[in-house]
Amino acid sequence: MGYRIAVVGATGNVGHEMLNILAERAFPVDEIAALASRKSLGTEVSFGDRTLKTKDLDTFDFAGWDMALFAVGSEATKTYAPKAAKAGCVVIDNSSLYRYDSQIPLIVPEVNPEAIHDYKNKMIIANPNCSTAQMVVALKPLHDRARIKRVVVSTYQSVSGAGKDGMDALWDETKAVYNPTDNTPADKFTKQIAFNVIPHIDVFMDDGSTKEEWKMVAETKKIVDTSIKVTATCVRVPVFVGHSEAINIEFEDFLDEDEARDILREAPGIMVIDKREDGGYVTPVECVGDFATFISRIRQDSTIENGLNLWCVSDNLRKGAALNAVQIAELLGREVLKKG
Residue 187 confidence (pLDDT) above 90: no
Other beta carbons within 10 angstroms of residue 329's beta carbon come to 27
pLDDT > 70 fraction of the chain, expressed in percent and rounded: 98
* 311 vs 294: CA distance, rounded Å: 8
pTM: 0.95
Residue 41 confidence (pLDDT) above 90: no
* 200 vs 202: CA distance, rounded Å: 7
pLDDT tens per residue, range 236-289: 999 999 999 999 999 999 999 999 999 999 999 999 999 999 999 999 999 999
Q: How far is CA 118 from CA 99, 131, 196, 202, in A?
A: 13, 24, 43, 29
Enzyme catalytic residues: 130, 243
Mean pLDDT of the chain: 96
pLDDT score, position 179: 86
pLDDT > 90 fraction of the chain, expressed in percent and rounded: 92
* 103 vs 122: CA distance, rounded Å: 7
Residue 183 confidence (pLDDT) above 90: no
Can you list the positions of beta strands (E) in the chain? 3-8, 29-36, 44-47, 50-53, 55-56, 67-70, 90-93, 124-126, 148-157, 229-236, 243-251, 270-272, 293-301, 307-314
- How buried is 202 (Cβ within 10 angstroms: 0-12 exposed, 13-18 middle, 19+ buried)? middle
pLDDT score, position 323: 96
pLDDT tens per residue, range 122-141: 999 999 999 999 999 999 99
- How buried is 29 (Cβ within 10 angstroms: 0-12 exposed, 13-18 middle, 19+ buried)? middle
Pairing of strands 55-56, 50-53: unpaired
Give the distance from CA 218 to its chain's centroid.
15
Mean local confidence (pLDDT), 90-101: 97
Residue 338 confidence (pLDDT) above 90: no
